């Protein structure tokens, strides 16, 4: 350590001497102008400034056109409409401000580039101008922030007493999801990672009667137009429950329960039959068919036709198989949902089945 520190001190001393020698050089007035920009340099730099901003805007337009197939369709949840509106207003405002400030910055750098005969105007200040460019951003930003806050509190207002919400637990672990439905009593039984044992992979408290009728599934079925409150738990590391079509995302944190609620408004079938999805799936299948041909020619298996499904994804890089951490979401009518849930065994049934084995 001492040797290292000594070396650092010597190096720093060297740098100090070097810098001092530069100052000494400066003080000896020289007439070498090779480092000072002349009109030719200024011309080139001015044009490059303008060309750069034009290139950026052309690239932006190209990306919008080229990649518009990656945009999501209209939201499949109630709050998603407000969310999309907030996003659109913010983006349009950002674009306007960006073009006004960066566009003008680059254009003026070009227009007023250095010329030998030009002399800079000394402009001390202008109270009126400063007032205008302060008050406009203040009003616009305050408006945007207040509007954003109202939208956020609306979305995050998770009221279990409001209406008849469905309560579902989303359980994340490396590298999969499980859903837990609360059963007849609409009350999830207590759970803790310390109770994980054998088939009790979610760590339900066996002594809690609320947990006996809970149903643990590997698909997430949701009735359309009914509010769902998700209670999220993680077994191991930080995950993130991401449901892009419903404009929903929430971190799933070990040791605590995080919540998110939304009302799905478009069933899986409706989304599959929508103009947007029919077109998109046709494009995807066209690409897959071409790829299949090559695969078959190489002696491999052909790709299956792709059909649309909603998915719950993990949006936090949580380990090697993070990319594959997904669970199918099926939004359906209340009747279909009830019929499906009936076919799922309760936790109590699973326990007694194991005991009798
Ligand atoms: Cu994950």
One domain, residues 240 and 345: yes
One domain, residues 48 and 146: yes
C-alpha 137 to ligand 1 mean position (Å): 39
C-alpha 241 to ligand 1 mean position (Å): 8
Residue labelled with tokens 């109590």: 348
What tokens appear for 169 in the block? Answer: 């637990």
C-alpha 323 to ligand 1 mean position (Å): 8
User: 50, 43, 44: which is closest to 104 by C-alpha?
Assistant: 50
Over residues 136-181, the pLDDT tens digits come to 999 999 999 999 999 999 899 888 877 788 889 999 999 899 999 9
What tokens appear for 175 in the block? Answer: 């590298």
Per-residue pLDDT of the chain (357 residues; tens, 9 = 90+): 788 999 999 999 999 999 888 887 776 666 667 778 888 889 999 999 999 999 999 999 999 898 887 889 999 999 999 999 999 999 999 999 998 899 999 999 999 988 888 888 888 888 999 999 899 999 999 999 999 999 999 899 888 877 788 889 999 999 899 999 987 777 787 888 887 877 787 887 777 777 778 888 999 999 999 999 999 999 889 999 999 999 999 999 998 999 999 999 999 999 999 998 998 899 889 988 988 888 888 888 878 888 999 999 999 999 999 999 999 999 999 999 999 988 988 877 777 777 776
One domain, residues 90 and 232: no
Count of structural domains, the chain:
2
pTM: 0.77
* Cis, bond preceding 175 (omega within 30 deg of 0): yes
Domain range enclosing 133: 43-64+72-115+124-155
One domain, residues 146 and 203: no
Residues, beta carbon < 5 Å, ion ligand 1 = 239, 314, 318, 325
The CATH number covering residue 195 comes to 2.60.40.420
Distance CA 235, CA 192 (A): 9
Whether residue 350 lies inside any domain: the answer is yes
C-alpha 327 to ligand 1 mean position (Å): 11
C-alpha 72 to ligand 1 mean position (Å): 22
One domain, residues 199 and 319: yes
Residue labelled with tokens 């191991």: 236
One domain, residues 205 and 106: no
One domain, residues 90 and 219: no
User: 232, 228, 229: which is closest to 250 by C-alpha?
Assistant: 232
Whether residue 17 lies inside any domain: the answer is no
One domain, residues 261 and 150: no
One domain, residues 186 and 207: yes
C-alpha 213 to ligand 1 mean position (Å): 27
C-alpha 120 to ligand 1 mean position (Å): 58
One domain, residues 253 and 187: yes
> Within 13 A of 124's CA, how many CA atoms are on the CB side?
1
Over residues 102-122, the pLDDT tens digits come to 999 999 999 998 888 888 888
Whether residue 140 lies inside any domain: the answer is yes
C-alpha 191 to ligand 1 mean position (Å): 20
User: 159, 165, 202, 158: which is closest to 187 by C-alpha?
Assistant: 165
């Amino acid at each position: 350590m001492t040797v290292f520190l000594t070396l650092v001190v010597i190096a720093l001393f060297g740098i100090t001497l070097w810098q001092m020698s530069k100052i000494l050089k400066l003080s000896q007035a020289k007439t070498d102008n090779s480092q000072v920009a002349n009109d030719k340099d200024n011309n080139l730099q001015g044009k490059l400034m303008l060309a750069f901003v034009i290139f950026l805007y052309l690239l932006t337009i190209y990306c919008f056109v080229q990649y518009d197939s990656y945009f999501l369709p209209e939201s499949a949840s109630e709050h998603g409409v407000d969310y999309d509106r907030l996003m659109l207003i913010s983006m349009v405002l950002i674009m306007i401000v960006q073009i006004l400030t960066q566009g003008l910055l680059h254009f003026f750098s070009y227009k007023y580039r250095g010329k030998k005969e030009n002399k800079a105007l000394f402009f001390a200040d202008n109270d009126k101008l400063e007032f205008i460019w302060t008050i406009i951003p203040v009003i616009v930003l305050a408006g945007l922030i207040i509007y954003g806050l109202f939208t956020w509190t609306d979305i995050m207002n998770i009221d279990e007493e409001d209406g008849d919400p469905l309560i579902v637990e989303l359980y994340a672990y490396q590298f999969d999801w499980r859903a837990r439905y609360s059963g007849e009593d609409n009350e999830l039984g207590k759970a803790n990672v310390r109770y994980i044992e054998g088939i009790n992979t979610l760590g339900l408290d066996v002594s809690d009667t609320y947990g006996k009728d809970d149903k643990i599934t590997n698909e997430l079925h949701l009735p359309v137009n009914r509010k769902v409150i998700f209670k999220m738990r993680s077994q191991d590391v930080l995950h993130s429950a991401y449901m892009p079509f419903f404009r929903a995302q929430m971190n799933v944190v070990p040791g605590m329960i995080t919540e998110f609620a939304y009302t799905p408004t478009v069933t899986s079938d409706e989304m599959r039959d929508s103009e947007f999805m029919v077109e998109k799936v046709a494009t995807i299948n066209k690409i897959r068919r071409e790829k299949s041909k090559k695969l078959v020619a190489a002696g491999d298996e052909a790709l299956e036709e792709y059909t649309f499904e909603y998915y719950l994804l993990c949006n936090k890089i949580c380990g090697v198989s993070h990319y594959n951490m997904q669970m199918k979401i099926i939004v359906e009518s209340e009747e279909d949902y009830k019929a499906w849930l009936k076919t799922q065994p309760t936790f109590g049934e699973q326990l007694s089945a194991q005991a009798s084995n």
